[in-house]
A and B are shown apart, each in its own frame.
Chain A
């Protein structure tokens, strides 16, 4: 158990719909990262938050948005869903001290299926 909690574990929805994925980081971790992993593909970086603020952005579509709340949990919102959005979405958290990023701890992922 990494200490990072993601919900839901599985989600099936239709094209055009909107979903929200939730992530609770490990206790004490200030950084939250979101990654997308399509079938047999690598880990595509979407976005990073640090203590409530957006820190870095990757190849995140405009239809996607995220935020980190004061209690440090994070939500990834996916809207106007398309078939190609079907993927495993991972959240990870880390302790970031000074200029050094530490180990990322990944949640179990949320598997999104768009029909």
Chain B
């Protein structure tokens, strides 16, 4: 089955800096890679996703890159703001199979 590793587990940055979170996956057949943001006490919400036929995707200050050969994908947040502080989860899925989440990265953006 799929296994997703995520690092770092915690990340502290200053407001305006960039933040990068990295994930690796084990199943080469995985074809869908979403990123979820979970604020304290709230439900996870999708912030961006990428499919295996695309190498990069951007949405304003966030971007995701995918390297299928190395089986890793990354989340990039530029010009971080205090409201970006949350736990971020990467995930990977194969076809209809289960969506497996990484262990999460707690991002703290200090003013």
Binding site for B on A (CB under 8 A): 2, 33, 35, 41-43, 45, 48, 50, 55-58, 90, 96, 99-101, 103-104, 106-109
Contact = CB atoms under 8 A, between A and B. Distances in A.
A41 B106 CA distance: 11
Nearest to A46: B98
Task: Classify chain B's interface size.
Answer: 20 to 34
A99 B46 contact: no
Interface secondary structure of A, over-half rule: strand
B31 A45 contact: no
Interface stretch (B61-69, B73-81, B88-96): B88-96
Contacts of A50: 96
B100 interface: yes
Contact of A100 (B31, B101, B102): B31
Nearest to A99: B95
